[in-house]
Amino acid sequence: MKIIDLTMPIDARTPVYPGDPRPRIWQKSMVGKDGFNTKGLEISSHFGTHVDAPFHILQGGKKLEDFPLSTFIGNAVVLDARKSNERKEIIADTSKADGADFVLFCTGNSKNCHSENYFGNSTSISLQTAKELVAKKVKIVGIDCLSPDNEPFATHRELLGNGVLILENLVNLEGLIGKKFECTIMPLRIADADGAPCRVICLTD
């Protein structure tokens, strides 16, 4: 059995959504001077690999704490989304997602995460695809991009409005395309959270 980390490392180069504040990471204390090492960290609730709750975009929507822990443990499948149409929308056969709790889209864009092209190369999940996944009663939809769509965020609203959480900024999906595996998502326990950075790991043969 292999354990694969699908989490983007947190450092000064970690990309942020346009308009979001850059992270602030600094050495707060040092063992040679203070007797211990401590880093200071200032990030947003939607920094790095993170999960969106309905409250992120819907007035009165559920917060992360409103979802049971069982929401974040399940079987996942990675769909190949490295091809898109002229509108840069994902082309994927969602029938391959039958029975999956989590559906993760590999666009191949994570390789651009430290370049200016990361946001510009993002591929959107079409509204139709989002509706198909809602109908399949998946718990979480993830992607290796900053966001599954852009304004007016119809895909966000379709998924979150139907209680399907969104996982963004995944990495290491290429080797998992077409596979089904156990997956655990561990958001930080932030009160009243509209979203939270998380660690995402999978167990595969």
- Is the residue at 114 inside a domain? yes
- Residue 84 has a pLDDT of 66
Residue 36 included in any domain: no
Answer whether residue 35 is part of any domain: no
Structure confidence at residue 93 (pLDDT) = 86
Per the structure, the complete domain to which residue 55 belongs is given by 2-10+46-204
- Outline where DSSP puts E strands in 81-149: 102-106, 140-143
Q: Assign residue 72 the CATH number of its domain.
A: 3.50.30.50
Judged by phi (left if over 0) then psi (alpha if -120 to 50, else beta), residue 137 lies in left
Domain total in the chain: 1
Share of the chain above pLDDT 90, in %: 80
In a domain, residue 23? The reply is: no
What mean pLDDT value characterizes the chain? 93
Is residue 110 assigned to a domain? yes
The confidence score (pLDDT) of residue 117 equals 77
- For residue 25, tell me if it sits in a domain: no
Stated pTM of the model: 0.94
* Residue 85: predicted pLDDT: 58
Query: Residue 102 domain-assigned?
Result: yes
Which tens digit of pLDDT belongs to each residue from 7-63? Answer: 999 998 898 988 888 899 999 999 999 999 999 999 999 999 999 999 999 999 999
Q: Are 171 and 4 in contact (CB under 8 A)?
A: no
| Residue whose entry in the numeric block shows the structure tokens 């709790």 | 101
Residue 167 covered by a domain = yes
Q: For the segment 154-197, what is each residue's pLDDT rounded down to a tens digit? A: 999 999 999 999 999 999 999 999 999 999 999 999 999 999 99
